[in-house]
Amino acid sequence: MKNEEIARLKSDWRRASRQWLYGGSKPKSTLKLPRRVWAILTDFAHMPSWNPFIRSVSREATNGARPSILVSPPGKRAMRFTPIVLSVRPNRELRWQGRLFVKKLFDGERYFLLEPRNERATRFVQGEYFSGLLVGPLSGVLPATRMGFEAMNVALKQLAEARDRLQ
pLDDT digits (tens, 9 = 90+) for 110-150: 899 988 877 777 888 888 888 887 777 667 777 888 888 88
- Domain membership flag for residue 15: no
User: Which residues are bridge partners to 69 per DSSP?
Assistant: 57, 81
Instruction: Please tell me the total count of domains within the chain.
Output: 1
**CATH number of residue 62's parent domain:** 3.30.530.20
- In which domain, by residue range, is 116 found? 21-166
Between CA 90 and CA 39 the distance in angstroms is: 9
Give backbone dihedrals phi and psi of 21, rounded to 5 degrees, phi first.
-120, 130
Identify whether 5 is part of a domain.
no
Q: Is residue 64 part of a domain?
A: yes
pLDDT in tens, 58-111: 988 899 999 999 999 899 899 899 999 999 999 999 999 988 777 777 788 889
Least confident of 28-32, 33-37, 47-51, 155-159: 28-32
